[in-house]
Amino acid sequence: MPFITENKKVGLLGIPFSKGQPRGGTEQGPQAIREAGIVEKLEQLGTQVCDHGDLTFDYIENDTPDGNVKNPRTVGHANKKISKAVSDIIYNGQLCLNLGGDHSMAMGTIHGHAQVEPDLVVVWVDAHADINTPLTSPSGNIHGMPLSFIVKELDGYVPTVKGFEWVKPCLSVKDLVYIGLRDVDPGERWIIEKFGIKAFSMQEVDKLGIREVMEQALKAIDPSGTRPIHLSFDVDALDPTITPSTGTPVHGGLSFREGQYIMEELANTGRLNCIDVAEVNPSLGNKEENTLTTETTLEVLNKCFGQKRGGGFPSNYVMPRAEKTRTSCSSTKSH
Ligand SMILES: [Mn+2]
């Protein structure tokens, strides 16, 4: 039986968290996306939304680095909470939409999703691979490491880290695909090649075109087209000219149209079951750049929920009929 998410209620979860990276501001992401009208826009598309509000997090004092890893206990405990909240929402049959927050949250969201749907596959749309281990990370910021903590094949490469004792690897590399990469660290590239992770960097997007990329990406992780899909969308996957308010922008990103096409194709599968929107940072850039960032994010994200660039109408749409009708030019000659 294929997994189907059609007509599912959307469970909205705010994840106002920023301790996976050095800049403040991503904790304001959920509020900024809400203020841009996410609930109203989803409802206009005929989606029922259940807003679960924002999670609250404990900030652990004297959270000294564990080796290279910064804020380990704070990020570890936050992700434990995120995992539980996401698994509850998915367990209740809702499509879980997570508004971040920095991308460290994806460790918790994927872990939580996997507790209910262990057969899930992950589409990671990002400029970065976010799969550094605590030993390969050049920065020690956990938002660049979430996948290493949950990928099964990295047993033996990921040391124990304080705060993460609860994490059980739950994702196989063959169930992960990347789209939009253009800033990948050496350890990450080694992992991608060593384990054969399917990765479409911007070079492949340029070479193949986004249509071919999406076809190959979905075929690679789920050839039978039956499995639940987890989309982890970092807004820095898009070009910084259209999503400027984000912490680690990289030039040469996905265009507005490529972003929309990715989401349209994912929506067409009917199997999107959990979506992360990460790294919107309203403290970066001016008001205009903030607005551009949230509006672009919503326009792209809407495509996950069936908004079509070619237009559409609800299934209960009634086309109004005219009482007095026009007379057309007759096709038979009258004179
Ligand atoms: Mn990311």
pLDDT digits (tens, 9 = 90+) for 134-190: 999 999 999 999 999 999 999 999 999 999 999 999 999 999 999 999 999 999 999
For residue 139 the two structure tokens come to 């920065």
pLDDT of 238 strictly over 70? yes
DSSP string, 52-78: EEE------TT---BTTBSSHHHHHHH
Catalytic-role residue among 77, 113, 143, 230: 143
Question: 73: pLDDT confidence band, cut at 50, 70 and 90?
Answer: very high
Question: 121: pLDDT confidence band, cut at 50, 70 and 90?
Answer: very high
DSSP string, 201-267: EHHHHHHH-HHHHHHHHHHHH-TTS-S-EEEEEEGGGB-TTTS-SSSS--SS-B-HHHHHHHHHHHH
User: Has 183 been labeled as part of a binding site?
Assistant: no
> Is residue 236 among the annotated active site residues?
yes
How high is the pLDDT of residue 334?
56
3-state secondary structure of 132: coil
How high is the pLDDT of residue 72?
98
User: Has 52 been labeled as part of a binding site?
Assistant: no
- Structural class in CATH, domain 10-305: alpha beta
Contact between residue 101 and residue 18 where contact means Cβ atoms under 8 Å apart? yes
> Is residue 143 among the annotated active site residues?
yes
Catalytic-role residue among 52, 77, 103, 111: 103
Question: 1: pLDDT confidence band, cut at 50, 70 and 90?
Answer: low
DSSP string, 96-115: EEEEES-TTHHHHHHHHHHH
- Tens-digit pLDDT profile for residues 196-220: 999 999 999 999 999 999 999 999 9
CA distance 51 to 314: 22
- The domain spans of the chain are 10-305
User: Has 276 been labeled as part of a binding site?
Assistant: no
How high is the pLDDT of residue 275?
98
Which of 55-59, 143-147, 289-293, 313-317 is least confident? 313-317
b/e code 155-194 from CB counts within 10 Å (16+ = b): eebbeebebbeebebbbebebbbbbbbbbbbebbeebbee
User: Has 128 been labeled as part of a binding site?
Assistant: yes
- Measure CA of the first residue to CA of the last residue in the chain; give whole Å: 65
How high is the pLDDT of residue 333?
62
Catalytic-role residue among 27, 54, 279, 299: 279
- Is pLDDT larger for residue 333 or for residue 185? 185
